[in-house]
Each structure stands twice: as C-alpha cells, then as structure tokens.
Amino acid sequence: MRPLRSVTVGRPKNALDVTQAECARIRALYVQGVRITDIVLRTGRCESVVSKAVRGMTRIKPPPKPWTTKRNALIVRRVVRDGMSQAAVSRRFHLSTTLVCQIVRKALGLKTMKRPFPRSWSKRLSAAQRDPPPLVGKAVREPRTRALRMRRDHEIYRLVIEKGVALATVARRYGLSATGVRKIVEERLRRSGA
C-alpha cells in the first residue's frame, strides 16, 4: 500500500487574506486620495496587504492648491505685464526656469515645450547620425587584442591624417596622451612609406 501524500490546501499564491468587502473599502479609500499609511490605521491591516489590494489602481489627481494658483498668476503677471525675464522670476520664486516657462506658456494658451526625442529614436538616419560621433569626452578602454589595437591605430591615423582632427581631441577620445597619438601616426606613416 502506498503512503498517502499530504496535500496542503491553502490560498493561491499572491492571494490576499481580506474579504471582498474589505478590499472594496480599501480601494475606495485609496481612490478618494487617502494615504496608504492612513488606510493601514483605519482598516487595521498591514501595509503590504493594503499595497497589494490597490496595486495597479490610479488616483484622481487632486485639484491644485490655491497658493499654487495664486503663485502661478503672480508669475504670469511678472513675466507678461511687468516684463521681467523668466530667469529673474525663477530666481525670485525659487523655481527652475523650465517650470516658469511651462507656467507662462500654459497661462497664455500656448503648447508646452516638450523635450525633443533623441535623434537615435527616429527611424530615418539624419546627416548627423551618418557622421562619426563627437570625439569629446568619450574615453575608450585599451584594446585587449593585437587586432583590436591595429584597428584602433588605423582609426586614429584616419582621424588625424585624413579628417584633420587635432591630436589632443583624438587623445582624449581614446584615453591616450597627445604624444602617444603622435607616435601611432608616425609609425603608420613610416609603415606606409609616406
């Protein structure tokens, strides 16, 4: 006779130990804008249970506070009517110039300036993408193999001789000194017989 295996009958994984009524009450409080810590205090449930009950839900955005509306009206008046620069207004109200610009544009009914997508996100390649990337501030590790070092040296030679890029700029790009770049270029010139 085979021994009986014990089968555990429990809650499914990630199930909440709350009734449907409690869950509905927690969600209603959350949608009303009550903080999770306050819901924990009101319902007597732990924070993880409350967090799981409201997972994936969104709240209604609360209306702007009256001081924010007054502040925004004052900012718009300073910029539009009084002629203050946005930088001066941003310093006066301790805000960023970007936020002041957005407040003024919204008040005047203009579209807010959105940050443009990086060029790499577009499907078509622009002329700037077809050109090699800028050389400033992008140091590269020392190549590990001889073939990679030869490829790097050829690229350095091409940049200095054919494109006319300054030695210091190429040196910064590859993490070398200007003297090291000069030696690489002279060695390539000597090899090519020029």
Q: Domain span at residue 43?
A: 20-53
The answer as to whether 112 is a domain residue is: no
Paired tokens of 193 = 């017989």
Residues 72, 41 share a domain: no
Residue with tokens 């709240």: 59
Distance CA 118, CA 131 (A): 16
Same domain, 141 and 188: yes
Report the alpha-carbon distance of residue 182 to residue 187 in Å, rounded: 9
Token pair 């839900």: residue: 57
Q: Is residue 114 part of a domain?
A: no
Range scoring the smallest mean pLDDT among 63-67, 96-100, 123-127, 189-193: 123-127
- Give me the residue label for tokens 């002629």: 83
The span from the CA of 54 to the CA of 14, in Å, is 13
- When divided into structural domains, the chain yields a total of 3
User: What pLDDT does residue 57 have?
Assistant: 80
Same domain, 83 and 46: no
**pTM for the structure as a whole:** 0.31
pLDDT tens by residue, 112-147:
666 555 555 555 545 545 455 555 555 556 667 888
Q: Are residues 37 and 74 in the same domain?
A: no
Residue 49 inside a domain? The answer is yes
Token pair belonging to 123: 């499907």
pLDDT reported for residue 122: 52
Q: What is the chain's mean pLDDT, rounded?
A: 78
What crossing angle do the helices spanning 178-192 and 146-157 adopt, rounded to 10°?
Answer: 90
Tell me whether residue 86 is in a domain: yes
| 138 and 185 together in one domain | yes
Q: Is residue 119 part of a domain?
A: no
Q: Which residue in 135, 131, 68 sits closest to 102, CA to CA? A: 68
**Is residue 182 one of the residues assigned to a domain?**
yes
- Please indicate, yes or no, whether residues 79 and 33 belong to a single structural domain of this protein: no
Q: Is residue 40 part of a domain?
A: yes
Residues 144 and 182 in one domain: yes
d(CA 75, CA 66) in angstroms, rounded, equals: 14
- Domain-located, residue 44: yes
